[in-house]
Amino acid sequence: MTEKYDPYENAVAERINRTLKYEYDLKRTIKNTNLAKKMVKRAVEIYNNKRPHFSLKLNTPNFVHLNRNIEYHSYKRNKQNLELLTI
């Protein structure tokens, strides 16, 4: 899940995985692959667009990503500007 095998990046990825599993009921076994994909997609959509995050001063990740002047807490050692997300 990480590009540079940085343990700090991996910790953040693991934290996101845990949140998705426990807050969106993705920890159970889902035998229907299509249903599982839909559930994961919906959980990620909520996580990025509707769920406020304390490290982002109660903003959503998408809002902070699109509004670069908002300060947030970064767990990366060398905080870099994020690429503009295009959809």
Same domain, 13 and 25: yes
Same domain, 58 and 40: no
Task: Kindly give, in sequence order, each residue whose CB lies less than 8 Å from that of residue 4, ignoring residues fewer than 6 positions away.
Answer: none
Domain boundaries, position 79: 52-86
Same domain, 43 and 56: no
Which residue pairs from 13-18 have beta carbons closer than 8 angstroms and sit at least 24 positions apart in sequence?
Answer: 16/47
Give the total number of structural domains in the chain.
2
- Give the integer Cα–Cα distance in Å for 81 and 65: 9
Looking at per-residue confidence, does 8 or 1 come out higher?
8
Neighbours of 59 (CB within 10 A): 16
Looking at per-residue confidence, does 73 or 5 come out higher?
73
* Predicted local confidence at residue 78, as pLDDT: 56
Task: Kindly give, in sequence order, each residue whose CB lies less than 8 Å from that of residue 81, ignoring residues fewer than 6 positions away.
Answer: 68
Q: What is the mean pLDDT of the segment spanning 3-18?
A: 74
Whether the predicted pLDDT of 17 surpasses 80: yes
Structure confidence by residue, pLDDT tens digits, 24-72: 889 988 899 999 999 999 999 999 999 998 888 899 989 988 988 887 7
Same domain, 12 and 43: yes
Same domain, 15 and 25: yes
Same domain, 5 and 16: yes
Same domain, 7 and 34: yes
